[in-house]
Amino acid sequence: MSASSNMNWDRRNVLRAAMGLAAAGGLAACGGNTGRSGGSGDALVQYFHAYGEAGVEQAVKRYAKAYKDANVATQWITGSNFEQKLFAALLTKNAPDVFEFHPQIQLIKSGQVADLTDIVEPVKDDFNQADIKSHTVDGKIYGVRMIDDPQFFFYRPSMFEKAKVEVPTTLEELIEAADKLTTSKVKGAFLGNELTAFQHNVIWSAGADTLTADNKPAFNTDGVAEGLKQLRGLFTSGNLLLGAPADWWDPSAFTQGLTAMQWCGMWAMPVMQKALGDDIGIFPFPKIGSAGKESVYNGGWSMFVNAKGKNVEAAKEYVKWLWIDQKEHQEDFATSYGFHIPPRTSLAQSATKLKSGLPAEGVKLFNEFGHFDNIGWTQAMIASFNDVMANSVRKNGDPKAQLAACEKKVNAELKKLFG
* pLDDT digit string, tens, across residues 357-366: 999 999 999 9
Tens digit of pLDDT at every position of the chain (419 positions): 444 444 444 433 433 343 444 444 333 333 334 444 444 568 999 999 999 899 999 999 999 999 999 999 999 999 878 888 999 999 999 899 999 999 989 899 999 999 999 999 999 999 999 999 999 999 999 999 999 999 999 999 999 999 999 999 999 999 999 999 999 999 999 999 999 999 999 999 999 999 999 999 999 999 999 999 999 999 999 999 999 999 999 999 999 999 999 999 999 999 999 999 999 999 999 999 998 999 999 999 999 999 999 999 999 999 999 999 999 999 999 999 999 999 999 999 999 999 999 999 999 999 999 999 999 999 899 999 999 999 999 999 999 999 999 999 999 999 999 88
For residue 14, tell me if it sits in a domain. Answer: no
Running DSSP on this structure, what letter comes out for residue 327? H
Based on the fold, state whether residues 290 and 307 are members of the same structural domain.
Answer: no
| Residue 165 sits in the same domain as residue 294 | yes
Three-state DSSP at 55 gives coil
Structural domains counted in the chain? 2
pLDDT in tens, 376-399: 999 899 999 999 999 999 999 999
Q: Would 197 be classed as within a structural domain?
A: yes
Does the residue 69 lie in any domain?
A: yes
Answer whether residue 62 is part of any domain: yes
pTM for the structure as a whole: 0.89
User: Which of residues 298, 319, 336 is at a domain's end?
Assistant: 298
133 and 159 share a domain?
A: no
Q: How buried is 243 (Cβ within 10 angstroms: 0-12 exposed, 13-18 middle, 19+ buried)?
A: exposed
* Residues in the chain, overall count: 419
Q: What is the CATH number of the domain that holds 196?
A: 3.40.190.10
Last residue of a domain, one of 239, 267, 298: 298
Strands 98-101 and 42-49: parallel
Give the domain range for residue 227: 150-207+220-298
User: Are 167 and 281 in a shared domain?
Assistant: yes
- Final residue in a domain of this structure, among 298, 321, 348: 298
Domain annotation covers residue 9: no
CB burial of residue 208 (10 Å; 0-12, 13-18, 19+): buried
